[in-house]
Amino acid sequence: MIQNQEYIQEFVEEAKGHLETLESILIRVDEMKSNPELINEVFRAVHSIKGTAGFFGLKNIVSLSHAMENVFGEIRNGKFSIDDETADVMLKSNDCLKDLIDHVGESENMTIDSCLHDLKELLNNAGKVKAQEPSPDITVRSSEGKTITFCGSNVLMIQDGIRQGYKIYEIKLRFNRDLLNYDNGPVRLFKNIQQVGQLVDTVMDHSEINSFEDVLASLDGADNDIYLGIVVTTALDTARLSAAIQIPEKNIIPMDVKNAEVPVSESPVKCDRRDNTVKPAATVPAVKANPEAADSVKPQKITPPALSIKMEDSIRVNVQILNELMNMASEMVLGRNQLLRTLENYKKTIPGLAPILQNVDRLTSGMQEKIMQTRMQPVANVFNKFPRIIRDISKKLHKEIELKIDGADVELDKSMIEALGDPITHLVRNAADHGLESPEDREKAGKSRIGSISLKAYHEGGFVNIDVTDDGGGLNVEKIKQKALETSLVSRTEIENMNEQDVFKLIFKPGFSTADKVTDISGRGVGMDVVKTNIEKLGGSIEIYSSAGKGTTIRLVLPLTLAIIQSLIVETGGQVFALPQVNMKEIVRIKVQDSNKIEHINGADVIRLRGKLLPIVYLADIIKTAGNQKNSEAKPEVAIIIVIKIGVIRFGIAVHSILESEETLVKPLPQALKGCVCYSGVTILGDGKTAMILDPEGIIKAAKLKNSTRLMDEASADTETTNDADIEQQDLLLFQCSGNEIFALDMSLVARVEEITLCQIDKVGSKEFFQYRGDTMRIIRPEEFLPVNSEQLTAEKMVVIIPKLVSHPMGILARQIVDNVKTVVNLNTGDLKAKGLLGSILHNGRIVLLLQLYELFGLADPDHYPSESRKVSCDYQLLLAEDTPFFQKITKEYLDEAGYRVTVVPNGKAALECLEHEKFDAVISDINMPIMDGLELVRRIKDNPALTDIPVIALTSLTGESNEKYGINSGFDYYEYKLDRDHLLNTLDMALNKKNGGEIAC
């Protein structure tokens, strides 16, 4: 009989927790055999469910949990030991119990006969199996000196009480003398006790009532009575317990917890294992237990593994209240935004307003964040069910599978956690069924028989990523293509134009499956499309990484919460929109005069962003705000392009302007707008107006971007891979001096860029200086030393580029910074050759001049940068391994100038071949190189006794202490940064000196 929905819900929540505990223990059969405490734990869990279900009259739940409790009781009492078969039955019963609890309202109509039968069979077979050691009994001693021995489940309750730091009491009552006038009788008494503590056991002695005559005598006031002893554990002291249960203190006898004892010899106080009840010595009532008898027991202290007092540091709160709190906090954020917007203009005129607003702002954000945290739950809530699932699947599939779980403590919003269970289950089952090969096939492939599936949760860039990884055969691209064609999911033309990622994503198409046979695990072609839909509903995305023969990782990228998101408020066509910032990578501004930067390729507008083509979507076009206007009119003259990256798709959304960044509350779309894929919701802005929240995924669909993005990638790839050997990109700072020429300096040579006005420049003689960090620094104008145009600089504001990796830094005065680009450098050294210039490159159709900084400084300051650099007196032969022509050239120049003979090779493999045939005094090697990198090269050199004496210097762009440490640990003798000529030459001197024992040996 279900009496109160609120309490029932509480029971359901509590029971689910117990069931999780049960399941997590039941799958650890081996551990259970050796750790009796685990049996106790499952017993406690089932016992708690049974107890509360009984209170609500849930007979089926009581019956099943009772039957399970019996089995656990027999295991704990040593009647038989748990094995795989027993665990299977118990897990099945656990599932059934879970089902009953999940559908508690209908639980009375559900059938549990099969489970009850299986459990009964287990008990029937109990005697045939080897017994375990029985669990110890507990004897407690009262302050009166009386002892009581507890056994069976009562031991657990006593131990629980001790763990919680509770006190143990025996409430001694004469039934009619003490209880006859008790308000509402014994029913109320027991309820009162259960409200303030745990009723462990009762002991009743009715030896004075042997007939109706005794009953009538008792009624007439004779001494004949029933004696009742009630053992309870509670946090209350005697006085408070007395007040709570309305029983005089004299009837409440404390049992000294410190005297909790385990008898080592047979106790004179008998324990009936059949019903797990307390039996005082002989049939003497509990209150008359014989202290002398108990004293003869030699006690042994209980080992206190779990005796530490655990204070309650959490409370159970109804989720509905949290939801309401969250809604209110979200509305408060809106209110805060409106308040700040409204009072913005009064901050200066009303004294003290600014700090008040700041405080309100801070507190509102803090409160919203904390309330959000209350809804956060660890992904362990999802992950914890997988050990069981993997156990079952591995048995069914006859595969040996090891499950690794990492990051189970990462937290996500409760609604996300609840929605993640099914998608991850699909992925794990697929990984086990399709991903992992059979043990035999794995052995043939040189792998361990045991396949591995790992679940890993971690934070990355404001998202939580969940990786489901298997070390199986990986996705078979050709098989996916073939199946997709067979089932007409895509056309042949479409599939021919697909890249690997596109092919992988076919597995998310409804009805797609590459499974050769349908099993009850997977293979029906349903699941992966549901996974994708569910994850996208959560505002997340899916990425697939797969390597043939090595395995597959499916990554779920999820937002932390759905309620409030950081958005960029943008305006286009006179309308304001909120664009979630989670997928935003950068913002590019294109001025009117640079409108030619927008090109038209493959039917789409694109810009070249650091050498890659980026398709542009005009928001005005997509949302049709322009109405009857032509699209071209809707396009902004000065475009703000917000670069978005979702999975592997990268594109730009062009808007008129960006107003601000704001925390926006996501409200569901009105029914009328449900069909608009470009919107994910609606919000209210700080000024009180509503704004649609844009959905970048929807914009991709609306703009049909997938194909064009792929074509862009191919076009970009064409541009970038004209020379395979030339794939490393340089990070260049582009700037203009007084003329129109564009100069470039490698970013690794730039320390800072400072803004400067003309009046900050002081002239001393013919040289110019400015104040930099409390000191003076010379400024040079490159156009004065190079064969380029030179004009009068009239701009009020200019910039000074402060270089690094030079012995005497001088600032380079420039009119403006043009851009910072990462590009492949195809250096032209023939047409524009001059001292101070390395050569030229073409970038976006314009000539860019690359500065040779040391030569330029040599021209400006020959005292510190002599044109004749130091020359080594010996004929040293150096091997330079470097894949990038730009660095090959510049490094070789330094070394040639210093008098070394240099052989240049493009990778580690070529370097090793050279070392086999020629003798070198030192090797200088880049780290990141194709075919064989520098780390492998140095390992091979140091492993070869014939080469191990040759000093090997790393010359790399990988800065930072950890990189340097890693390089040295890998075997490099020295670690130098590219373009730092002086350091490299000094290190070479040192290395060669050391190699030759400090003497010059030519």
Partner 1 sequence: MQIIIKNGTATCMAAVELTVTGINQMVADVKKALDGREDFDTICVDLSKTINIDSMGLTFLIGLYKTYSAQGKKIKLTGYNDALFDIFKIMKFDELFELSK
By CB under 8 A, residue 8 contacts partner 1: no
Q: Which is nearer to partner 1, 54 or 930 (CB)?
A: 54
Piece in contact with partner 1 (CB under 8 A), picked from 204-212, 721-729, 766-774, 849-857: 204-212
Could you give the maximum distance between any two Cα atoms of the chain, in Å? 130
- Residue 108 interacting with partner 1 (CB under 8 A): no
Which string of b and e fits 636-673 if b means at least 16 CB within 10 Å? beebbbbbbebbbbbbbbbbbeebeebbbbbeebeeee
Q: Which of 110, 215, 445, 717 binds partner 1 (CB under 8 A)?
A: 215
Choices 113-121, 177-185, 594-602, 622-630; region in contact with partner 1 by CB under 8 A: 177-185
Residue 195 or 631: the one with the smaller Cβ distance to partner 1 is 195
Binding mask 857-886 for partner 1 (x = CB under 8 A): ------------------------------
Inter-CA distances, 933 with 393, 668, 883, 925, 938, Å: 42, 52, 10, 9, 9
Least distance to partner 1 from the beta carbon of 277, Å? 7
Q: Which residues of 475-510 are buried (b: 16+ CB within 10 A; e: fewer)?
A: bebeebbebbeeeebbeeeebeebeebbbbbbbbbe
CB closer to partner 1, 59 vs 667: 59
Q: How far is the CB of 168 from partner 1 (least distance, A)?
A: 17
Question: CA separation (Å) from 394 to 438, 518, 848?
Answer: 10, 16, 62
- Which token pair is 246? 């309305």
Query: CA-CA distance, 988 to 922, in Å (whole number)?
Result: 8
Q: What is the CA radius of gyration of the chain?
A: 39
Q: Give all strands of the β-sheet with 604-609 in edge-to-edge order.
A: 584-590, 639-646, 649-655, 612-618, 604-609, 599-601
Residue 206 or residue 889: which is nearer to partner 1 going by CB? 206
DSSP state of 679: E
Task: Report, in Å, the least distance between residue 215 CB and partner 1.
Answer: 4
Measured from the CB atom, is 246 or 959 closer to partner 1?
246
Least Å from the CB of residue 460 to partner 1: 54
Q: How far is CA 11 from CA 8, 50, 318, 529, 585, in A?
A: 5, 11, 12, 35, 47
Identified binder of partner 1 from the candidate list 91, 129, 179, 588, rule CB under 8 A:
179
Question: Which one among 186, 355, 511, 866 touches partner 1, defined by CB under 8 A?
Answer: 186
Each residue 261-280 as x (binds partner 1 by CB under 8 A) or -, in order, gives: --------------x-x---
Nearest-approach distance from CB 53 to partner 1, in angstroms: 12
Q: Which of 204, 725, 1000, 1001 binds partner 1 (CB under 8 A)?
A: 204
Site string for partner 1, 434-453 (x = CB under 8 A): --------------------
Using the rule CB under 8 A, is 842 a contact of partner 1?
Answer: no
Q: Choose one: 211-219, 540-548, 716-724, 966-974; the region binding partner 1 (CB under 8 A).
A: 211-219
If the CB atoms of residues 56 and 974 are measured against partner 1, the closer one turns out to be 56
Q: Does 795 bind partner 1 (CB under 8 A)?
A: no
Cα–Cα distances in angstroms (integers) from residue 7 to residues 12, 98, 494, 705, in the given order = 9, 18, 58, 53
- Cβ closer to partner 1: 227 or 865? 227
- Give yes or no for residue 57 binding partner 1 (CB under 8 A): yes
For residue 211, state whether it binds partner 1 (rule: CB under 8 A).
Answer: yes
Q: Which of 21, 142, 218, 709 binds partner 1 (CB under 8 A)?
A: 218
54 counts as binding partner 1 under rule CB under 8 A: yes
Give yes or no for residue 221 binding partner 1 (CB under 8 A).
Answer: no
Cβ proximity to partner 1, 185 vs 862, nearer residue: 185
Sheet order of strands, 463-470 included: 401-406, 451-460, 463-470, 551-559, 541-547
Q: Does residue 223 interact with partner 1 by CB under 8 A?
A: no
HSE on the CB side for 3, CA within 13 Å? Answer: 7
Q: Which is nearer to partner 1, 219 or 758 (CB)?
A: 219
Confirm or reject binding of residue 603 to partner 1 (CB under 8 A). Answer: no
Q: Which stretch binds partner 1 (CB under 8 A): 106-114, 186-194, 439-447, 696-704?
A: 186-194
From the CB of 171, what's the least distance to partner 1, in Å? 12
Q: Please report whether residue 190 would count as binding partner 1 according to CB under 8 A.
A: yes
Helical (H) or strand (E) element with 529: helix 528-537
Closer to partner 1 by CB, 185 or 549: give it. Answer: 185
Distance separating alpha carbons of residues 682 and 692, to the nearest angstrom: 4
Q: Quick check: 202 binds partner 1 (CB under 8 A)?
A: yes
Applying CB under 8 A, does 282 fall inside the site for partner 1?
A: no
Select from 866, 858, 890 the least CA-distant residue to 780.
858
Residue 536 CB coordination number (10 Å): 14
- Residues shown for the chain: 1002
Nearest alpha carbon to residue 700 among 611, 604, 609, 608: 604
Q: Which stretch binds partner 1 (CB under 8 A): 4-12, 209-217, 511-519, 875-883?
A: 209-217
Specify the residue, 183 or 486, whose C-beta has the smaller distance to partner 1: 183
Spatial contact of 107 and 58, defined as CB atoms under 8 Å apart: yes
- Interface with partner 1, residue 209, by CB under 8 A: yes
Q: What is the DSSP letter of 758?
A: G
Amino acid present at 881? A
# residues near partner 1 by CB under 8 A: 30
Helix (H, G, I), strand (E, B) or coil at 385: coil
Q: Which tokens sit at 760?
A: 């900050």
Find the part of the chain contacting partner 1 (CB under 8 A) among 18-26, 49-57, 858-866, 992-1000.
Answer: 49-57
335 part of the interface to partner 1, by CB under 8 A = no
Residue 303 in tokens: 């080992």
Cβ atoms of 811 and 779 within 8 Å: the answer is: yes
| Terminal-to-terminal C-alpha distance of the chain | 101
In this complex, which beta carbon is closest to partner 1, that of residue 187 or of residue 311? 187
Angle at 345 between CA 341 and CA 351, to 5 degrees: 115
Look up residue 647 and give its two tokens. Answer: 């999975």
770 is a site residue for partner 1 (CB under 8 A): no
Residue 79: both structure tokens together? 């009647």
CB atoms within 10 A of CB 327: 13
Helix, strand, coil share of the chain (percent; to 5): 40, 25, 30
- Asked if 55 is part of the footprint of partner 1 (rule: CB under 8 A), the reply reads yes
Check if the beta carbon of residue 507 is closer than 8 Å to that of residue 476.
no
Identify which of 323, 190, 325 has the alpha carbon closest to the alpha carbon of residue 245: 190
> Considering only residues 4, 114, 210, 342, which one is a binding residue for partner 1 as defined by CB under 8 A?
210
Binding of residue 214 to partner 1 (CB under 8 A): yes
Question: Any contact of residue 248 with partner 1 (CB under 8 A)?
Answer: no
Minimum CB distance to partner 1, residue 178 (Å): 8
Which residue among 77, 142, 149, 176 contacts partner 1 (CB under 8 A)?
Answer: 176
* Contact indicator for 918, 940 with CB cutoff of 8 Å: no
Pair 209, 215: CB distance under 8 Å: yes
Q: Is 212 in the site for partner 1 (CB under 8 A)?
A: yes
- Asked if 206 interacts with partner 1 (CB under 8 A), we say yes
Q: Which residue, 209 or 328, has its beta carbon nearer to partner 1?
A: 209
In whole angstroms, the minimum distance from the beta carbon of 46 to partner 1 comes to: 17
Q: Which stretch binds partner 1 (CB under 8 A): 216-224, 333-341, 594-602, 906-914?
A: 216-224
- 545 beta partners: 553
Contact residues for partner 1, defined by CB under 8 A: 1, 54-55, 57, 175-176, 179-180, 182, 185-187, 190, 199, 202, 204, 206, 209-212, 214-216, 218-219, 226, 228, 275, 277
